[in-house]
Amino acid sequence: MKIAMPLAEGRVAELFDDCERFTIVDVDLTENRILDSCRAEPDAEWLGRLPAWLAGQAVDLVIAVEVRPGMKTDLMESNIRIIAGAPNDSPHSVIKSYLAGDLDR
């Protein structure tokens, strides 16, 4: 499963919608472990179409602090699940919380 988190100053960004940089983490849910992680930035042409760009990166889930309702709809239409209400913490810490079951699955 691939999980994307918006980044700002090395932490999960307060608002997903305006973000230009992401951490994308590939996790194994069977073993609850991180397989791979990278930082990615969409080209300028994608900034208005983040759900399509994330779908092109094979992202299954977005974990964010906050996602506006319109963006939630666009993500769901791209078959990307959303967990909002994540802590404004490091992506590694947020993924560890997710794998431990501390965030909704």
Residue 104 lies in a domain: no
Distance CA 44, CA 38 (A): 19
Q: Average pLDDT of 8-33? A: 92
The mean of the pLDDT values for the chain is: 92
Strands 11-12 and 22-28: unpaired
Residue 105 lies in a domain: no
The answer on pLDDT for 46 being more than 80 is no
Distance CA 50, CA 5 (A): 12
CATH of the domain at 70: 3.30.420.130
Question: Read out DSSP for 18-73?
Answer: T---EEEEEEETTTTEEEEEEEE---GGGTT-HHHHHHHTT--EEEES---HHHHH
Q: Average pLDDT of 99-103? A: 92
Question: Where residue 54 falls among pLDDT bands split at 50, 70, 90?
Answer: very high
State percent of the chain over pLDDT 70.
Answer: 98
Residue 78 lies in a domain: yes
The answer on pLDDT for 20 being more than 90 is no
Q: How many domains does the chain have?
A: 1
